Amino acid sequence: MAGASVTAARRELLGLTHEELVASLSPYIDRSFRVDQVERAIHQRGVGEITEITALPLELRSRLAERFVVGRPRLLESQTSEDGTVKVLFELGDGCTIEAVDIPEDKRRTFCISSQAGCALGCAFCVTGYWGAGRNLTRGEIEGQVLALRRLRVGDARGINVVLMGMGEPLLNTENVHGALERLSQSISWRRMTLSTAGVIPGIQAVARWPRRPNLAISLHAPDEERRDRLMPINRKFPLAELIPALRRFPLERGRRITIEYIMIDGFNDSLADAEMLARLLSGVKAKINLIPLNHDPVLGESLMPSPPARVEAFRERLQTKGWLATVRRRRGDRVSAACDQLRAPHRAPRGFRRSNLSF
């Protein structure tokens, strides 16, 4: 795997569009089809070094390797949970660190990847926000997490699902996320990729205009404006009164639904009355509801604790009686802080939470 630091004389190929790749490689290759060979090797086969592109003549591989590098993130460490979930810490070319997660299952595996090196949204339940904002990732850095995980864990792309549910808000980095997903779609179906957003309405509208779209998931987490304001400061800019109509308008292909993600916090948003409010709020949205018992972390304090299993099940049953498809997300990777909202890339100082958000 290529290291995170490369010389200035060598350009990174990962993240380039086809047109950019042609412009970069053309001066050094003898035939135009060689660009397609390089492109397939990087994005479909997932090679980590130019010298591994065996379709190219050895002399050409050596010549290109002097000028270009694939540009993968560098693995710093990995942690494996008892359930087989693996969390990895990557270092990027400028020293920024991000985390990604590999969640293996019987017939598939899910890669949870990051879109930013941190997060500025400051959601009260999310540990990433506790460590503060970071820059947008490039197209290559987003795709590179999947390619690096493939190389580390499985080899090829068969049976892989990709979810943008790691560090950062994908729709504050819409252009690079789109470019990365376009590249990933060469080996992974759009139906096997999911983008999760806290509800950035202009970004949702932008995704609606894409010719091909991933599955859309919305971090909702409260059935009314006042409680969502307290959990998610972004609600003050993009309130439920505007978000829900945007979801009703979102174009869905046949058989697809928006996933509503709902974190369940003990005594805060988990009553049967809350389930009925949520059912009414989502009227007219073609959706399924995924209930997520809060993954507690010491930095959250004692005011944010997960709902008891019996209350989660009663909430789910009440939603079903109202006609909604509701499921409970199985906890994976929490023993290594790899579960939902636990990613932090801790090689930096935390900023903490604004206390007003934690007064529950």
Neighbours of 333 (CB within 10 A): 25
Tell me whether residue 96 is one of the annotated catalytic residues. no
What values do phi and psi take at 264, rounded to 5? -105, 115
The edge-to-edge listing of strands for the beta sheet with 109-112 is 74-80, 86-91, 97-104, 109-112, 160-164, 193-197, 215-219, 258-264, 287-293, 326-328
Beta-bridge partners for 80: 86
Question: Which candidate, 208, 148, 132, 202, places its Cα nearest to that of 173?
Answer: 202
What are the E-state strand segments in the chain?
11-12, 68-69, 74-80, 86-91, 97-104, 109-112, 160-164, 193-197, 215-219, 258-264, 287-293, 326-328
- C-alpha distances out from residue 268 to 149, 259, 263, 271, 304, Å: 37, 21, 10, 8, 9
Residue 99 CB partners (closer than 8 Å, separation 6+):
87, 88, 89, 90, 114, 166, 167, 338, 343, 344, 345
Residue 272 CB partners (closer than 8 Å, separation 6+):
314, 315, 318
DSSP 8-state assignment for residue 152: I
Query: Choosing from 96, 119, 126, 340, which is the catalytic residue?
Result: 340
DSSP 8-state assignment for residue 41: I
DSSP 8-state assignment for residue 346: -
Query: Choosing from 99, 141, 182, 261, which is the catalytic residue?
Result: 99
CA dist 49 and 142 (Å) reads: 18
Tell me whether residue 123 is one of the annotated catalytic residues. no
Report residue 170 as tokens. 């994908």
Mind telling me the catalytic residues? 99, 340
